[in-house]
Structure 1
Amino acid sequence: MILRFSQLIVGLILFGAGCAVMVDAGIGLDPWTVLAEGISKNTGIGIGWVVSITGFLVLLLWIPLRQKPGVGTVANILVVGAAMQFTLPLVSTPDHWIARVAMFIAGTALVGVASGIYIGARLGPGPRDGLMTGIHQRWGWPIWAGRLGVEATVLVTGWLLGGTVGLGTVLFAVLIGPMVHVSLPVFDGRARRRRHTTPAAAVGGLSAPGT
């Protein structure tokens, strides 16, 4: 449990740092960070702290959806925004657009790896992911439909508030799925064991190649 909790915290810190790198690249953001940036611009509250506040507000939406938070859910709210806020001043925005694109891709890669690390700890979903699964379980919507509806609403709202939508928004949408797909099995011990064990091997005690 101590190792899993340590893995969770490391993953969340890296996730927040990756989000900060994407913000400082200045070419667009994922939907939830667009919303956080828009709120930050209109309130003067640091974007990292806005991420924490919105995470808490999203968690409140779990109540009517009858979702139960885990340790990872609470840690996500407390750690990601703080890590993001403390990382932002440490990173400067490049002048050349090619360098900005490279910087954004590096931030996305860091978020992808960090997602594999903290999800692999299996200590509870983040508040936004839990919202999607809650909508699916409560109202029967396909998860993709719930995610599309929520994130489209969040993106448009953030854009109207002044959040940055651009090339980075598209890059994140295209790259984050494959990056998490690759990183998650590396850090998820249960997934590794399932991948290297077939039902026949489980019964007969024989090793089997990964699938």
Structure 2
Amino acid sequence: MSRFTARRLARRIPQLLIGLFLYGFGIALMIRGVIGAAPWDVLSQGIATHLPLTFGTITIIVSGIVLLMWLPLRQRLGIGTVLNALLVGPSADIGFLVIPETDILWLRVLLFALGLTVLAAATGLYIGAHFGPGPRDGLMTGLHRVTGRPIWLVRTALEVTVVAIGWLLGGNVGVGTVAFALLVGPMCQFFMRVFEVRLPVPPAAEPDDDLRSDAIKG
């Protein structure tokens, strides 16, 4: 391993871990806002209302189920994929422990806005580290590759489905859900440019990273 590559790796690993922790913390901030959650979080919320498990534990279970759906799509796991599945949920649970609930509307809006910003920055951090897509992004890109459908259509179909199921189970759908859908793409795209680690050789063997960037962009 060259000294240049070692320096890049010394940055990429902490960037991945910090990004995944902040991603879960951003989820907790948005949910504490109680004005609507992101689509997959609506699903986890809904399931959590019926099981004696924490939101973070439900998130890990859902991630595991999504990874099983990768098998027929022949998607390849990366270390970032596995760590995403294992760490985002627990970091969200930590967020719930330290972020208080509030009935004050402007504070709830502020919590949601802060959470969305933190989540977008966290996305830029862990995608920019180039360790593989998260479970849900990999499912989107895999379905796009196998079906040939536009990635925006695959993403929309998946998120509408999980929102509908989560809402029927008791998840929180609101104006925040709509705001997330409209704003997360441009915000993530901005932070991806800020935090991307320039690799010495383009990872041509990992096409899902480019597809994932397209998925975030919408």
Among 66, 85, 96, the alignment partner of 1:88 is: 96
Separation of aligned partners in 1, 2:182 and 2:105: 19
Q: Which has the larger radius of gyration?
A: 1
What is the CA-CA distance between 1:3 and the residue it aligns to? Answer: 2.2
Separation of aligned partners in 1, 2:169 and 2:120: 27
**Aligned twin of 1:177:** 185
Among 108, 113, 138, the alignment partner of 1:130 is: 138
- Indicate whether 1:110 and 2:118 are aligned: yes
What is the CA-CA distance between 1:94 and the residue it aligns to? Answer: 2.2
What is the CA-CA distance between 1:189 and the residue it aligns to? Answer: 2.5
What is the CA-CA distance between 1:44 and the residue it aligns to? Answer: 2.0
Separation of aligned partners in 1, 2:11 and 2:186: 26
Separation of aligned partners in 2, 1:3 and 1:190: 11
**Aligned twin of 2:150:** 142
Separation of aligned partners in 2, 1:39 and 1:163: 8
2:60 alignment partner AA: S
- Indicate whether 1:69 and 2:77 are aligned: yes
TM-score (norm. length: structure 1): 0.88
- Indicate whether 1:188 and 2:196 are aligned: yes
Among 19, 26, 46, the alignment partner of 2:34 is: 26
Contact 2:12 2:197 in 1 (8 A): no
Q: Percent identity?
A: 45
Contact 2:128 2:192 in 1 (8 A): yes
**Aligned twin of 2:207:** none
Separation of aligned partners in 1, 2:197 and 2:39: 30
What is the CA-CA distance between 1:2 and the residue it aligns to? Answer: 3.3
**Aligned twin of 1:206:** none
TM-score (norm. length: structure 2): 0.85
For structure 2, the residue ranges without an aligned partner over 5 or more in a row are 1-8, 203-218
**Aligned twin of 1:163:** 171
Separation of aligned partners in 1, 2:196 and 2:66: 26
For structure 1, the residue ranges without an aligned partner over 5 or more in a row are 195-211
